[in-house]
Amino acid sequence: MTTSLVGSMFALPRCVYAMAEDGLLFKTFAQISDNTQVPLNAVVVFGAATSIIALLFDIETLVEFLSIGTLLAYTIVSACVIVLRYRPTSSEGGITEGNGGRIRNWVPGQSWLSVPCPGAMVTWSVFLMIIGDSGVSVIFATGYARTMAGAIGSALFALVSLASFVMICLHHQNKAPVSFKVPFVPLVPAISMLVNILLMMHLAPVTWLRLVVWLAIGEDFHQNFQFSSKHLLD
């Protein structure tokens, strides 16, 4: 609980600040206090919201809900690391530069593998890898891996995930110089995705239901907020 409190008081307001700066939340959450140099409105509102939620729910529910949210966020981050690493650099005129996201020259089937725009095949491969990892995780989490059908199913899902990983490796990475890059891409993010998804599948079904409801509420709020903001600007 102490860790969650620290996260809600320090990390969460800064995430809210970034979202407000991008227009995804109210602009008042992006206001920086002159005295403290922190987004004070975001700290107060979301710190209070965290305290209320902690009072209403028991510790087991909070732990599982926090776990599935954190693991989902880490999975998305790992997927984005792969997608961004293989996304080509775009110039000001919208023209892509370098070989980032393009299939390697020695790979056979250049005629049809190079049809999508650079990086598109990697994005689809990441999507298929998530499906494969999810299938394997569900089979192992439910215990069906001990049956013949479960073993065959897990092998097929693992094959999909492995084929997607190989397809990603067949593309050129973006070599643009940045201050920091995750090492051993796509291996490290792929392992991270598999472990996170496997842990998520071991959580209770009611936790997944809470996550779906929470995401639906967030999506509804986002759509209404975007519509209201656009209407006010017009």
pLDDT at 233: 57
Give pTM, 2 decimals.
0.83
pLDDT at 91: 53
pLDDT at 8: 66
Residue spans per domain, the chain: 1-56, 77-203
pLDDT at 96: 56
What percentage of the chain has pLDDT greater than the value 70? 88
Q: What is the pLDDT along the chain (234 residues), one digit of tens a residue?
A: 666 667 667 788 888 999 888 888 888 999 998 888 889 999 899 888 888 888 888 888 888 988 999 899 999 999 999 999 999 876 555 555 567 788 888 888 766 666 678 888 999 999 999 999 999 999 999 999 899 999 999 999 999 999 999 999 999 998 888 888 899 999 999 999 999 999 999 999 999 999 999 999 988 888 887 777 766 655
Helices 12-21 and 40-56, axial angle in degrees (round to 10): 130
Q: How far apart are CA 65 and CA 207, in angstroms?
A: 6
State residue 145 phi and psi, 5-degree precision: -65, -20
Q: What angle do CA 208, 213, 138 make, to 5 degrees?
A: 20
Q: What angle do CA 80, 28, 217 make, to 5 degrees?
A: 55
CB 222 within 8 A of CB 24: yes
Q: How far apart are CA 105 and CA 172, in angstroms?
A: 9
Residue type, 101: G
Long-range CB contacts (within 8 A, 24+) of 26-35: 26/225
DSSP 9: I
Q: How far apart are CA 130 and CA 21, in angstroms?
A: 30
State residue 96 phi and psi, 5-degree precision: -75, 145
Q: How far apart are CA 9 and CA 50, in angstroms?
A: 9
148-162 per-residue burial string, b: 16 or more CB within 10 A, e: under 16? eebeebbeebbebbe
Which tokens hold the place of 51?
A: 């305290």
